[in-house]
Amino acid sequence: MLAIGRAILRRPKLLMLDEPSLGLSPIMARSVYDTLRKVSERDMTILLVEQNARMALDIADYGYIMEAGRIVLKGTSQELKENDDVKELYLGLEQGDASEKGWKFYTKRRRW
């Protein structure tokens, strides 16, 4: 949080962050993302690399999903949140047979 604050003091047009929630408790991660949401509303572009897709898409205007170093999906955060592949592969399982879904996820990912 201190590093983000120091970066913001310089009033950059672009703030680049690599996994700001890594190693943080869920409460602290939420605090960081609440801060980033406020910062993004102040006409500052944020380039965010994050493995927590749900949290990242909650604050993003636009997103890219990468697999094995390649962009496999892109779109607005709303489009990505509504995409069935994104829901199944990155946002958690829905109701149903987890083992069957797991196999479908694995085979679908291999096609990308």
Q: Which pLDDT does position 107 carry in this prediction?
A: 62
The answer to whether residue 29 sits within a structural domain is yes
Domain tally for the chain?
Answer: 1
Which CATH number does the domain housing residue 38 bear? 3.40.50.300
Do the domain assignments include residue 110? Answer: no
Tens digits of residue pLDDT in 11-48: 889 999 999 989 999 999 999 999 998 888 888 899 99
Note down the domain range covering 34: 2-60
Per-residue pLDDT of 35-88, as tens digits, reads 998 888 888 899 999 989 999 999 999 999 998 889 999 999 999 999 988 888
Q: Is 48 within 8 Å of 36 (Cβ atoms)?
A: yes
Higher pLDDT, 98 or 8: 8
- 18 found inside a domain: yes
User: Cβ-count burial of 89 within 10 angstroms (0-12 exposed, 13-18 middle, 19+ buried)?
Assistant: buried
